Structures are given as structure tokens and as C-alpha cells.
Amino acid sequence: MMKKTVFVASFLMAITLLSPITYAKQSNNDSTQSSMRYYTLTPNIITNYVMNDSRLGYIRLQVDLMLTDSNQLLNIEHHAPLIRDCIISIINQQSAQQIKSLAGRENIRQLSKQKINQLLLVETGHTAINELLFTKYLYQ
């Protein structure tokens, strides 16, 4: 009876200890199969915006793009100047209040993502941008 109890306890402990290892292996395999990819626009985008009293403000952005398909990376690299121009055009149309507020920043981010996907659809036939992230956002 004692041997059976020890065997059952050992068996349950082995199953419990091996389960996280199996789960970790499955998680790693799932992440390697993902086709998401990040692309950083370099160099940083530096441009001006008009402040309320007709003076110029300064903004510096680092933009990272999350691509839905890593196969689109060559298209993104090829069209990087078009993407940069699109973001600069959007920034130049914003008020100082929009640039400085969190809600405005989010609107700029969403609008940029939308416009870039529209441009890429026309140029490449694909909307490759899943997310557009401002990883650096400095204004003065």
C-alpha cells in the first residue's frame, strides 16, 4: 500500500513539474511562427509646427512600425521616404495644443497609421502597418 501511494505521489509530482516545460515549449514555438515584425524609421523625424503666436515649435519623433507581415519589410524600406513625408505633413497641419496633449498625440498616431496604410495600399496593394508607435516624442 505504501509503495502504491509513493508511486502515485511521484507520478503526480512528475506531471506537475513537466507541464510548465511543455507549455513553455509550445509558447516558444508559437512566437517563432508569428510574422509580426518591427521597423524603425531612421533617422528620427525632426520638423516644426506653428505655435499660437506664429512662432515655430520643434518636434522630434522616433517612429516604429509594427508590420502585419514580415514579407512586407522590403516594401516598407523602399517607401520609407513616402512614410516620413506623410508623418511630417500630418504634424505640420496640427495645432500646438494637439501636439502637446496626450489625446492629440494619439490622434496624430492614429491618423498617421491610417494615411500610411492608404498610401501603401495604392503603392503596393497591401496595408502592411498593424501599429504605428511613437517611441520618442519630444516637443519644444
pLDDT tens for 17-27 read 555 544 444 44
Residue in 28, 129, 35 with CA at minimum distance from that of residue 76: 129
**Secondary element (H or E) of residue 109:** helix 102-124
- Judge whether 59 and 139 are in contact, CB under 8 Å: yes
CA atoms within 13 A of residue 50's CA, in its CB half-sphere: 9
Q: Using one digit for the tens of pLDDT, what is the confidence trace for 62-110?
A: 999 999 888 889 999 999 999 999 999 999 999 999 999 999 999 999 9
Read off the pTM: 0.73
The SS3 assignment for 80 reads helix
Query: How far is the C-alpha of 107 from the C-alpha of 99, rounded, in Å?
Result: 9
